[in-house]
Amino acid sequence: MKTLGARIRAARTALRPKVTQKDVADHFGIERVNVTQWEGDTTKPDGYRIPGLASFLGVSEEWLRDGTGDGPDLEKAASKPTIIPGRELVSRDGETLPIYAGAKGGDGFIIVTFDEIERVKMPSILQGVKGGYGLLIDGDSMIPAYFPNDIALINPNKRPERGFHHVFYHQPPHGDDAEAIVKWLEGFNDREWTLKQWNPASEFKESRQVWQTCHRVVGKYDRR
């Protein structure tokens, strides 16, 4: 896999459940032909797209750029995938998910107001999850992973895990407004979080004493 296009294709086809070129294009709000051209090395994605593309494909930026670092899990890709019928992706028992608003607060922060702004169909990934909720994204620091008005789907019960987006709060949210950040968790220890954002791309550290509460993002609904 000597070319960028070959690595994009390898990472995409290694994903399970299966991800098509159209899925990649829809995620970034572009035409499918653009992804076809990337994989065929006819064109290259703009540099600012690489962090988000690597995140979406589940590989490191370094591997995507030059083939070093963490690439796709080919052993997992070779296993038979589990097919989930579309009718099972959303709960059919009438259960709904509360959506809260996040207003831009400056320096990449958002102010989350825990008054429901709407309820949407419950995604299967949060069905039966105590305290699950959706967060309406504001701000542009996580583009292209999350655009303004996307809804991040949150499971507050999962433990922090490297390689996922999370919502970090100053204090446990209990119905009041709370200052929060939505970032990629690159790593952590007893003292600090190592976080990434995509726009502009940067890696930085935050104190776990300051950002005490961490909720895992497990999916999203695209903006409508």
Residue 28 above 50 pLDDT? yes
Domain with residue 137: its CATH number is 2.10.109.10
What is the enclosing helix (H) or strand (E) of 168? strand 164-169
pLDDT tens figures, 43-58: 999 988 999 998 888 8
Q: Would you say 28 and 49 are in contact if contact means Cβ atoms under 8 Å apart?
A: yes
Residue 80 above 80 pLDDT? no
The chain-wide mean pLDDT, for the chain, equals 83
| Residues 215, 164: Cα–Cα separation, whole Å | 10
Mean local confidence (pLDDT), 89-93: 55
Residue that is last in its domain, among 31, 49, 78:
78
Q: Are residues 162 and 62 in the same domain?
A: no
Tell me how many domains the chain contains: 2
Q: Give the domain range for residue 68.
A: 4-78
Question: Which pLDDT score, from 0 to 100, does residue 146 have?
Answer: 86
CA distances from 45 to 38, 62, 64, 187 (A): 7, 15, 11, 27
Question: Which pLDDT score, from 0 to 100, does residue 214 have?
Answer: 92
Residue 79 above 80 pLDDT? no
What is the enclosing helix (H) or strand (E) of 105? strand 96-106
